[in-house]
Amino acid sequence: MNRRQAAAAIVMLSACLVGGDEVVGVAVEYFRRKPIDLARPPADVPFPLRVKNYVRHREGSCFHVSTQVALRWADQGAIADNWRQSFGGGASTSDIARILDRYKIPYKRTHIVGYGPNEDGNVEILDYAHNHRLAAAIHYFRGHAINFLGWVEKDGQAMACLLDNNRPQEFIFVEKNQFLWNWRNRYHGGAIVPLVQPLPPLPYDPRDFLEKP
């Protein structure tokens, strides 16, 4: 069962349980959008869609894994499965871009600056992912890549919400300015966002709906 099938099942079940009584023949005009919880990331990846790092060619596959998480979040599990079977080991942003080209998946990415490993650290890439509820694969931590899931607010502070494939049980929160400084100055400032259709659905509450008259 994929994420959309699970959501549909929840909607059907909720329709049967509203008020504790069975509802028969309900025609739904629309579901009301849930209030946005600013403490949760726009790409709020549930645990079953998180992928743990794996070894290929005696190297970790963190950048591949982070891209697979981005694809799974956008309901592209079949591509993510094929990617895992076909690719792994160390990778750069350019390597990931070439694989996305093979799958004919467009993307937004940062670009190499000069001849070293540093990239331009363009925050517009992260803002695009945030605004479109997409997950980005980014360089973060030494020799590592993880997921950026969006900007959040916690305790009155703007923070980056991150998901590390070496410890996927919990999200990591880093104050926004500190995160950007780290990303650009310590961890090379690389990021890539697969632009996969269909986009993840808006957060609707399956128990709050308007019946057609």
With 70 as the cut, is the pLDDT of residue 124 above it? yes
With 60 as the cut, is the pLDDT of residue 5 above it? no
How far apart CA 161 and CA 171 sit, in angstroms, is 6
Decide if 77 is inside a domain.
Answer: yes
Q: What is the pLDDT of residue 140?
A: 98
How far apart CA 195 and CA 46 sit, in angstroms, is 20
Tokens matching residue 187: 């961890």
Q: What is the pLDDT of residue 9?
A: 43
Decide if 91 is inside a domain.
Answer: yes
How far apart CA 71 and CA 135 sit, in angstroms, is 8
Q: By residue range, what is the domain housing residue 152? A: 37-200
How far apart CA 203 and CA 16 sit, in angstroms, is 20
With 50 as the cut, is the pLDDT of residue 8 above it? no
Identify whether the C-beta of residue 53 lies closer than 8 Å to the C-beta of residue 61: yes
Q: What is the pLDDT of residue 57?
A: 84
User: At residue 58, what is the residue type?
Assistant: R
- Residues 29-54 have a mean pLDDT of 85
Decide if 210 is inside a domain.
Answer: no
With 90 as the cut, is the pLDDT of residue 109 above it? yes
Q: What is the pLDDT of residue 27?
A: 54
Cis amide bond preceding 198, omega within 30: yes
- Residues 146-163 have a mean pLDDT of 97
Residue 40 parent element (H or E)? none
Domain count across the chain: 1
Decide if 209 is inside a domain.
Answer: no
Give Cβ neighbours of residue 36 (< 8 Å, ≥ 6 apart): 203
Q: What is the pLDDT of residue 209?
A: 63
Q: Which tens digits make up the pLDDT trace of 48-73?
A: 999 999 999 888 999 999 999 999 99
CATH number for the domain spanning 85: value is 3.90.70.10
Decide if 29 is inside a domain.
Answer: no
Average pLDDT over the chain, rounded to an integer = 85
- Phi, psi of 80, rounded to the nearest 5 degrees: -60, -40
Decide if 213 is inside a domain.
Answer: no
